[in-house]
Amino acid sequence: MKDASEEKLASVSNLVTVFENSRTPEAAPRGHRLEDTHHHPECRPPRSPGPWEKLNVGEAMGSEPRTVSGRYLNSLKNKLSSGAWRKSCQPVTLSGSGMQEPEKKIVQELLETEQAYVARLHLLDQVFFQELLRAARRSKAFPEDVVRVIFSNISSIYQFHSQFFLPELQRRLDDWTANPRIGDVIQKLAPFLKMYSEYVKNFERAAELLATWTEKSPLFQEVLTRIQNSEASGSLTLQHHMLEPVQRIPRYELLLKEYVQKLPAQAPDQADAQKALDMIFSAAQHSNAAITEMERLQDLWEVYQRLGLEDDIVDPSNTLLREGPVFKISFRRNDPMERYLFLFNNMLLYCVPRVIQVGAQFQVRTRIDVAGMKVRELTDAEFPHSFLVSGKQRTLELQARSQEEKISWMQAFQAAVDQIEKRNETFKAAAQGPEGDTQEQELQSEELGLRAPQWVRDKMVTMCMRCQEPFNALTRRRHHCRACGYVVCARCSDYRAELKYNDNRPNRVCLHCYTFLTGNVLPEAKEDKRRGILEKGSSATPDQSLMCSFLQLIGDKWGKSGPRGWCVIPRDDPLVLYVYAAPQDMRAHTSIPLLGYQVTVGPQGDPRVFQLQQSGQLYTFKAETEELKGRWVKAMERAASGWSPSWPNDGDLSN
């Protein structure tokens, strides 16, 4: 048994000697060239040219090295504890050893595979690495740093296994009769296996550099080909050999797991072996985490390349949570615009595709911090599947392609916000009330200037939301207050105030916000004009009105064009119908006291048409649906009879 072990170890030693003495034909010492090692059958060279000499074209094609993809690494993390490793790396069965204990056979197998592994590490470190390093120093055809990055910390791994791990295993097996245990040895050396994480993280980068410089540098390719075509390399490529360290820790885990299973229940090595198995598993998980981290950084780098590698967004600590296209609801245009979002753990990048995609694919329009962000659903019949993202830098009204996509986006945003809040004690202590439009209005004055407002869309108003003067294309154009988001005229927004959400830069604001933010009271603000009967907010939200919707206004009384009007019966004035040009207008162009009116069916025969009639007054309306018409008729009949919402059993018609 001992003779067989010594013979196997001698074979490995001879193989290492061949590697050391045969790096270049002129480097081999006298008396130790390959042709002088014929007394070792395992290392006898072929009669063809030496292992480091180039083969002719026909021979090279017949023994072309097999290639391996660097992406193979991505599947390794899913196989760390899989039996597939055992099947693909089945050790040679021992014959004639005379051993009876099954656990000793596993230890012998561990030793033999370790001997072969050390030989492979020697090939990587002392042959491939050193030969390429010498060629880089001599010729300057490729940088030395490239060679060092490709091989990472392979020298440290080789020294650990050749000088510590393999000798310890060999000594323990030689002394097996007196001390039949291996758990304590692995416990002592297992923590050093975490050095593999650095090698694993660098593997993808190493594979890319290897492919790049093989094509770029003829000398680099020549050195690789000479070594890969040698008998010692087994006609395998450098990438194949570089995979060995990645696969080694899972191999330890499988062998040690089998060793623990074969141990008798009362074996003295049971406790130590189980603890050693746990440590090996921890090292495997460490490598697994390194692979996951490498994949995250790779994906993050690809995202940054698509964004143009702007200095203020490139941060390796970021995590990409979600990306994808959405529609941006414009406050000026009727049709939503397609945009692209990148949601990270700490920021949202609002992007537009580049017209000429040279390098970067997207241009970052706005960066919004996740800290302090609010997300809520929007109820908008014109834009279904819409939601609001309100951040300190900007507020966006977005539309998803489907309800499922909207829910998925909102959940991703909320998860990012929750994660930020958990890490920040300030947000933990913040009082969070129930969501809703009412709360948004209450918080608006407190947050004025601290966060970007939701801008009111242009088509939702026909008059200034402060002075109630109607807009026109020439003398009274629309502007937005950057503090409250109202649509106001130039006269009402001719003020500047510093806004914290915009880095304290001066911005256009309305008079109301200017007074609030600066504390200054202008002489114009002291003039109190008597409020007209039509100067009443449109109460666009259902909770502020008994009934509200658009109605088509029919007949000469409304004009020949038959415009649409935003019709409202307010809760605080339930006997009057107000007709506005747009939902957010602050002044109605018509008010109709409904008390005493009769509600009748229209003469046109359209089931969606109805009329209000009293004395010589006649108003004709057309609803979008019959169901909406029925609710309007019921609401107007109640108001005409003097019904009040304070009465019992008052139904809700606002839906």
CATH architecture of 102-287: Up-down Bundle (1.20)
The CATH number of 542-641 is which of 3.10.180.10, 3.40.50.300, 3.40.50.1220, 2.30.29.30? 2.30.29.30
Listed residue (16, 21, 15) closest to 44, CA to CA? 15
- Per the model's pLDDT, the better-predicted residue between 620 and 60 turns out to be 620
Half-sphere exposure of 566 (CA within 13 A, CB side): 22
How would you classify the pairing of strands 609-614 and 598-601?
A: antiparallel
How would you classify the pairing of strands 617-622 and 609-614?
A: antiparallel
Ranked by mean pLDDT, the top range of 207-221, 461-475, 591-605 is: 207-221
Say if CB 22 and CB 28 are below 8 A apart.
yes
Indicate whether 180 pLDDT > 80.
Answer: yes
Q: Read out DSSP for 87-129?
A: HHTPPPPP-S-----HHHHHHHHHHHHHHHHHHHHHIIIIIII
First to last CA, the chain: 90
Give the span between the Cα atoms of 455 and 486, in whole angstroms: 6
Q: Does CATH number 2.60.40.10 belong to domain 320-427?
A: no
The mean pLDDT of the chain is 76
CATH 2.30.29.30 in the chain is located at: 320-427, 542-641
- Per the model's pLDDT, the better-predicted residue between 56 and 316 turns out to be 316
Q: What is the pLDDT of residues 537-581, one digit of tens each?
A: 665 556 778 888 889 888 777 765 567 888 999 888 888 898 888
User: What pLDDT was estimated at residue 231?
Assistant: 84
Phi, psi of 470 (to 5 degrees): -65, 145
User: What pLDDT was estimated at residue 444?
Assistant: 54
Say if CB 495 and CB 481 are below 8 A apart.
no
Half-sphere exposure of 175 (CA within 13 A, CB side): 11
Secondary structure percentages of the chain, helix, strand, coil, to 5: 45, 15, 40
Q: What is the pLDDT of residues 357-380, one digit of tens each?
A: 667 788 888 899 998 898 999 887
Phi, psi of 485 (to 5 degrees): 85, 5
Indicate whether 58 pLDDT > 50.
Answer: no
Q: What is the pLDDT of residues 397-426, one digit of tens each?
A: 999 999 999 999 999 999 999 888 887 654
Q: What number is the average pLDDT over the span 380-406?
A: 90
Share of residues in the chain with pLDDT > 70 (%): 73
Indicate whether 212 pLDDT > 80.
Answer: yes
Kindly report which listed range (67-81, 116-130, 257-271, 285-299) carries the lowest average pLDDT score: 67-81
User: What pLDDT was estimated at residue 554?
Assistant: 84
User: What pLDDT was estimated at residue 586?
Assistant: 78
- Per the model's pLDDT, the better-predicted residue between 28 and 299 turns out to be 299
User: What pLDDT was estimated at residue 350?
Assistant: 93
CATH 3.30.40.10 in the chain is located at: 450-518
450-518: what fold?
Answer: Herpes Virus-1 (3.30.40)
User: What pLDDT was estimated at residue 232?
Assistant: 84
Burial 71-110 (b: 16+ CB within 10 A, else e): eebeebbeebeeeebeeeeebeeeeeeeeeeebbbbbbbb
Q: What is the pLDDT of residues 503-520, one digit of tens each?
A: 888 889 988 888 888 877
- Per the model's pLDDT, the better-predicted residue between 92 and 202 turns out to be 202
Q: What is the pLDDT of residues 227-240, one digit of tens each?
A: 998 888 888 889 88
